Amino acid sequence: MKYLKPWWSDGGGLLHLTILLSLAELRVDLDLDLYLLLPPRTLPGDELLLPGGPTSPAYALSPFPASGGWGRADQLHPKGRELDPAAPPEGQLLREVRALGVPFIPCTRVDAWLVHSVAAGDADGAHALLGAAAASSSGGVGAGVDGGSQAAPGGSGDPRADPSSPLAAGEEEKAPAEPTAQVSDAGRHATEENEVLRAVDHSFQHEENEQRASTQKERQLQQINQGENKIADKPAWELEKTTESSQERHQNGTDTSLSLEDLFQLLSSQPENPLEGISLGDTPPLAASINDGMNSSTHYNVNCSQAISQDVNLHEAMLLGPDNTFRRDPIARTSQPQEPFLQLNSITNPEQTLPGTNLTGFLPLFDNQMRNLTSQDLLYDLDINIFDEINLTSLATEGGFDPMLVSQLFEEPDSDSGLSLNSSYNSTSVAKSNSSLSLCEGAIGYSTNPEDLESLPRHDLEGAVGGYYPESSKLCHVGHRSNTNFHADLAFQHVLHNHTYHSSALESTSEPLSWPGESQKMSRYLNDTGRNLSRDERHAKALRIPFTVDEIVRMPVDSFNSMLSRHYLTDMQVSLIRDIRRRGKNKVAAQNCRKRKLDVILNLEDDVCNLQAKKETLNRERVQCHKAINMMKQKLHELYHDVFSRLRDDEGRPVNPNQYALQCSHDGSVLIVPKELVTSGHKKENQKGKRKSERRN
């Protein structure tokens, strides 16, 4: 059981933000929700550690092995206090959600249920969600747009209504702190975003909606601040108008998007509401729901790993309709990856993170986020770090395909670190860390939203990108495009490249998740300028390349060529794609090369150390040998003199050792031989030995 650090774990209201965003996306786009909320690289058996910031609770999500899915709510157990004892039990919005009367679903519960529902075949649930989404797109979900809350903003909801909730028992609630400051802070964020998004959404401007949207926003903000709990039934056109007037909302810093209460209300009002019967402590309904789904539709009878892909299909069915021009590659259909390819949205912009989660302080922040999540904005990249580039692209979009503008972009002095393949710089070391980086890096997807298509000039669609994958330049939605076939390719490629050098840097880039601030590499992309796209990524955006840099680089050559042939790409696009691929490959090669060189250096250093140690050992042995030899010489010398001291010649006189020498014969006898004879004999023996050796040769 390991703990996974959530990517939004920079504390504060991110947990609540995630909840709200998830609920908001339920309304519009289920797959977005999954993409957004599925914890990256989370596997059954993992325990997800949700953020435990100073104002948000953290929970551990345990898998529910009985149903093969993710944990029931009653298996959620608080972990946050273990990490942060000072953390209050739950935030204001959670209390508000609980007070709605619908079964309370914490953030992780929503995630778990979504996975469970779709993956395990809860067709009803999926249909309900789709219905909600469809109704939303057609304006039928207008109910509750006001953002009114059924719960008292002060947390009047009974947190103990659901005994199974980990939040329920005996947890005190923290009162909102400094709502005014929170609101102003959120407003400042909204202003900053508005300035950027104004250019981005230039093509989406509808002046006639601005006034109404502004009025709505003001009203909603007022309701939020005053804690109004009523849910207004809004007509369909109003919701749609809200959707279309996202840009205007950005400008005003307020929003008319659905509140979480409305979303819950919406979900609860569905006749086949998948949430029915699902309570935190009510397991059988969940299981029944799953079983029903499996029985009612084999279409959803997919395993958990297929859920995401299936969800993409649902999304397409919802957004495009039967007569859309969007074409899915049949090969891609059949080659859906069997393993969950979890991606995350850039929705958790660190810059938008606020520590406070009190109601009045947080809702404006949520409001800001919701602006980016409603309708077509839901598909937008929320990372304002790239808005400058998007802006350029937007200009290109609006004014056609301006080569000058593109060339200017290409000539911009900012030569940020080129590619970012990670995205699997999955962070850095993946091995330690991982790839497709978050925050859009290396995983730039493109929307198939027909609204985006409508907003684009026709010649753009035909000339620049091709007719099959029209994407909005404003989009940086991770994994939104149905490139799941390529995900399999990526995985396969990753395996294939295992025989090559496994660069930690590469691994890190391959990591689908990078914790903000964790990697130095990350800081490089998320610098002070807020720029997080590499040069090639920006160029790709500028030229409206319908593929991510990561795809382009990692795709097998066959897939790459077929991809180029399948899409109508301009020469400039093809050239850029090939350059991106070449540079990406070379970057990886350079990383491998450096790693290899470093390893060689390290190995050489090790060899040097080993050889030095061996040399010292040999030196010591040599000294020992010298000592031993000297001792033996000394003993021999003493023995020699001892023998001669005892020898006497025929006349009884001592034998001079300088004139005679001792010589041992073959039969063991010792002879006293004059040294002249010994030396001459040695010479003769040496000559004989030489002759013998010469004969042998």
Footprint of DNA on this chain (CB under 7 A)? 413-420, 428, 497, 500-501, 505, 520-521, 523-524, 527, 534-536, 556-557, 560, 579, 581-594, 596-597
Considering beta carbons, is residue 480 or 521 the nearer one to DNA?
521
Backbone torsions φ then ψ of 659, nearest 5 degrees:
-100, -20
In the numeric block, the tokens 């395909």 are attached to: 401
Considering beta carbons, is residue 138 or 523 the nearer one to DNA?
523
Contact yes or no for 19/63 (Cβ under 8 A): no
Q: How far is the CB of 414 from DNA (least distance, A)?
A: 6
Q: How far is the CB of 409 from DNA (least distance, A)?
A: 14
Contact yes or no for 61/112 (Cβ under 8 A): yes
308-345 per-residue burial string, b: 16 or more CB within 10 A, e: under 16: bbbbbbbbbebbbeeeeebebbeebeebbbeebbbbbb
Q: How far is the CB of 506 from DNA (least distance, A)?
A: 9
Considering beta carbons, is residue 217 or 541 the nearer one to DNA?
541
For residue 84, the tally of other CB atoms under 10 A from its CB is: 18
Half-sphere exposure of 519 (CA within 13 A, CB side): 32
| Whole-angstrom distance, CA of residue 465 vs CA of residue 1 | 46
Considering beta carbons, is residue 589 or 661 the nearer one to DNA?
589
Considering beta carbons, is residue 325 or 527 the nearer one to DNA?
527
Considering beta carbons, is residue 74 or 412 the nearer one to DNA?
412
Cα angle 213, 214, 220 (rounded to 5 degrees) comes to 85
Q: How far is the CB of 466 from DNA (least distance, A)?
A: 19
Considering beta carbons, is residue 596 or 641 the nearer one to DNA?
596
Question: What is the DSSP pairing of strand 3-4 with strand 47-49?
Answer: parallel
Q: How far is the CB of 576 from DNA (least distance, A)?
A: 11
Q: How far is the CB of 482 from DNA (least distance, A)?
A: 23
Considering beta carbons, is residue 184 or 527 the nearer one to DNA?
527
Q: For the chain, report the end-to-end CA distance as a whole number of angstroms.
A: 74
Q: How far is the CB of 265 from DNA (least distance, A)?
A: 47
Considering beta carbons, is residue 37 or 549 the nearer one to DNA?
549
Cβ contacts of 135 within 8 Å, gap of 6 or more: 141, 266
Considering beta carbons, is residue 589 or 673 the nearer one to DNA?
589
Considering beta carbons, is residue 413 or 652 the nearer one to DNA?
413
Considering beta carbons, is residue 158 or 518 the nearer one to DNA?
518
Cα angle 502, 504, 506 (rounded to 5 degrees) comes to 75
Q: How far is the CB of 394 from DNA (least distance, A)?
A: 23
DSSP label at residue 159: T
Helices 14-28, 30-37: axis angle to 10 degrees equals 160
For residue 677, the tally of other CB atoms under 10 A from its CB is: 13
Backbone torsions φ then ψ of 96, nearest 5 degrees:
-65, -40
Q: How far is the CB of 502 from DNA (least distance, A)?
A: 11
Backbone torsions φ then ψ of 648, nearest 5 degrees:
-135, 145
| Whole-angstrom distance, CA of residue 308 vs CA of residue 40 | 12
Contact yes or no for 559/484 (Cβ under 8 A): no
For residue 65, the tally of other CB atoms under 10 A from its CB is: 11
Q: How far is the CB of 449 from DNA (least distance, A)?
A: 30
Tokens of 158: 């009974």
Contact yes or no for 216/243 (Cβ under 8 A): no
Q: How far is the CB of 425 from DNA (least distance, A)?
A: 7
Cα angle 425, 316, 439 (rounded to 5 degrees) comes to 20
| Whole-angstrom distance, CA of residue 506 vs CA of residue 469 | 28
Q: How far is CA 252 from the centre of its chain?
A: 32
| Longest Cα separation, the chain | 145
Contact yes or no for 20/91 (Cβ under 8 A): no
DSSP label at residue 465: I
Q: How far is the CB of 494 from DNA (least distance, A)?
A: 12
Closest CA to 512 of 346, 347, 344, 305: 344
| Whole-angstrom distance, CA of residue 453 vs CA of residue 442 | 23
Closest CA to 415 of 512, 524, 528, 552: 524
| Whole-angstrom distance, CA of residue 114 vs CA of residue 274 | 10
Q: How far is the CB of 481 from DNA (least distance, A)?
A: 21
Q: How far is the CB of 205 from DNA (least distance, A)?
A: 34
Backbone torsions φ then ψ of 196, nearest 5 degrees:
-80, -45
Cα angle 96, 99, 101 (rounded to 5 degrees) comes to 135
Contact yes or no for 572/543 (Cβ under 8 A): yes
DSSP label at residue 58: -
Q: How far is the CB of 314 from DNA (least distance, A)?
A: 34
Considering beta carbons, is residue 239 or 545 the nearer one to DNA?
545
Considering beta carbons, is residue 597 or 690 the nearer one to DNA?
597
Q: How far is the CB of 505 from DNA (least distance, A)?
A: 6
Considering beta carbons, is residue 188 or 582 the nearer one to DNA?
582
Considering beta carbons, is residue 501 or 568 the nearer one to DNA?
501
